[in-house]
Amino acid sequence: MKTNRLLLAGMMAALVLGFTPATSAQNSSVGTSKIKHVLLLSIDGMHAVDFYNCSHGLPGVNSGSPYCPNLATLSQTAINYVNTESSKPSDSFPGMAALASGGTPKTTGLYYDVAYDRSLDAPAQTTGTGLGAGPCKAYEPPTGTTTDFDQGVDYNDNLLNGGAPGAGLTEGGIASIDPQHLERDPANGCAPVYPWNFIRINTAFGVIHAAGGYTAWIDKHPSYSFVGGPGGNGLDDYYSPEVDSTVVPLPGVRTLDGAACDPIRDTLGTSAWNASFKNIQCMTR
């Protein structure tokens, strides 16, 4: 999906860095030492005008009243910065890299989750999305390969936990990344290239973690753990139930509106959680 991002106080889909909003950001200078925690939300396709409309209301929608009350509340202690634009290309993968690092696709090396890299070789096993296995000769020139950093790197992308060995129903996370499904680096002895080492530059998560802060993130694939940055130590907590997995009942889980997720809410959209608005609400609680 083409994505433009609205930056409120620091928004994404759930980066929690450690912040206590004691004062309004509108009344504080940028970079103030009073900011202790940051909440970063990434909302695909949301433009500045979309936020303005939902926070102020539109005739004929919700009786003209604001219809994003939580975002509107956040904006009261936020900096509304509108002089920005999406990455180019602006898909979720390069867009998320831009938010996490400030880098363009040329700088981060992330143009799309499925792309091509001349410096790497194919994975040891065919991925879940069909990227074929191929040879890799350690310390010899690479042959180049298509890269696959979406759900295909999971052990089993049909499962909500990504097939992570011994994991609970929704608790796969990084443990669901199958190293046999990762592209390999012949310059590093054909070691598998994990998502956090595929991005070429450091990220805000890595910087904050290195400074002693606590970082956490929620996203749609285990492969989006690249936000932690090189080395794999930038995230203290990462939660990523596989959004492209087959929809299953979630006993004991309810949506924000209180609707039960067991049984399946929409039996016509079970090929993936994002195939149905009703079902995806069970992932956003």
- How sure is the predictor about 283, in pLDDT bands with cuts at 50, 70 and 90? confident
DSSP string, 138-202: TTS----EEEE-SGGGBS-TTSTTTT-TT--TT--GGGGB-GGGS-EEGGGTTEE--HHHHS-S-
Q: Mean pLDDT across the chain, nearest whole number?
A: 88
Kindly report the pTM of this predicted structure.
0.85
- The C-alpha atoms of residue 62 and residue 65 are separated, in whole angstroms, by 6
More confident residue, 247 or 38: 247
- Report yes or no: 120 and 144 within 8 Å, Cβ to Cβ: yes
Phi, psi of 138 (to 5 degrees): -60, 130
**206, two tokens:** 């890595």
- The C-alpha atoms of residue 125 and residue 120 are separated, in whole angstroms, by 15
What's the confidence (pLDDT) of residue 278? 96
pLDDT tens digits for range 5-17 = 333 333 334 444 4
Buried-state track 135-150, b at ≥16 Cβ within 10 A, e below 16: ebeeeeebeebbbbbb
- How sure is the predictor about 52, in pLDDT bands with cuts at 50, 70 and 90? very high
What's the confidence (pLDDT) of residue 209? 96
Instruction: Using a pLDDT cut of 90, give the percent of the chain over it.
Output: 73
Strands in 11-61 per DSSP E = 15-16, 39-40
What's the confidence (pLDDT) of residue 2? 34
